[in-house]
Amino acid sequence: MYNKPYRTFLLNKEQTTSSGIEYIKRTYGFDCRHGRRYTIWAEHYPYDIFAIKFFLRSHIHSPRRFKMLTGLNDPFRVFSTCVQVMVDLRKEEPGCSFAFIATSLVKEGENNTKRLKVYRKIMETLFSPTNYIHYIYEPKSAYLLLNRHTQHGDILKKAEKMFNKVFDLK
């Protein structure tokens, strides 16, 4: 099901800051079978944590770009493509971890969203608990895949503090 990702290409890599936290944002693009372009942001935060975000390119200026459904009926290949970016990042940074927010749909609350339930199944299937600890914060539908081989001390508390600041998870 997740073995046919679209081919991605790196568009940009830039140093940026959010809420006083510096990180590197990598922007990837890919074209789906419907001829529409998607964007994936892989934001490389301290402690080698990549926050993965994706949206349809035509929604880039919308403040709801992460909430909107595309109607293209291609979710598994799009998810597969995001997972392939994660796998590629792991090859480049073997000790890295991943984070994301499973944003709510337009008329859905942010607690334990439908997307979180789908993403959870995907992550639990593709990222073994042998290599990753799966932390889920249901009130904000936040997910952290913590690499078991990382050497950053109490990374969970550090990551929680950092992402509370960046993504306002309180």
- Give me the pLDDT at residue 90, please: 95
Is residue 98 packed enough to be buried (19+ CB in 10 Å), middle (13-18) or exposed (0-12)?
Answer: buried
Question: HSE (CB half, 13 Å, CA atoms) of 104?
Answer: 12
Give the pLDDT confidence of 121-132 residue by residue, as tens digits.
999 999 999 999
Do β-strands 97-101 and 49-56 pair in parallel, antiparallel, or remain unpaired? parallel
Please report the pLDDT score of residue 1 as a whole number: 53
- List pLDDT tens digits, range 6-59: 999 999 999 999 888 999 999 999 999 989 999 999 999 999 999 999 999 999
C-beta separation of 135 from 146 below 8 A = yes
